[in-house]
Amino acid sequence: MTGTSTTELSLILAAPAPQPAAAPAPKLKSDPASTRAIKRCMAAWRRAFNAYMENGGGGSMDKVFAAHEADKAYRNAMPLLSSYEGIRDFIACTAHGILIGAILPQQSGHILYAAQVALSSLQCEPKPRKPA
């Protein structure tokens, strides 16, 4: 044996292992296209809300009905599910709509499922063949 005492071994075992330096958290980039899509949906919501309020009396019930009409306008302004970018923006608008209450939780599952189906259909498209 090399003459190492048990107290030396216990000190070595008790010492904390060196930890690697923590990697900096990756910076999330905001996607300008998704941001534009969300802004378009929000603008549609505001236009519909304001249009309803201009015609109504401005009471609390008018605000409820105006919000209901604005929610429909928000969903109608969402991007088409015809390309990868459109699907990505559609999902971003859906998530934002859920957060602000323009999309009800009861509808959110159906809407996100539509995006999932559209995305899977894009992935199943045949790849264009290269000319021989």
Q: How many CB atoms lie within 10 A of CB 85?
A: 13
Instruction: Please give the chain's pLDDT, 132 residues, in tens.
Output: 455 555 555 555 555 555 555 556 555 566 787 899 999 999 999 999 999 999 876 778 889 999 999 999 999 999 999 999 999 999 999 999 999 999 999 999 999 999 999 999 987 767 777 776
Q: Say which residue the tokens 């802004």 belong to.
A: 39
What does the domain layout of the chain look like in residue ranges? 31-123
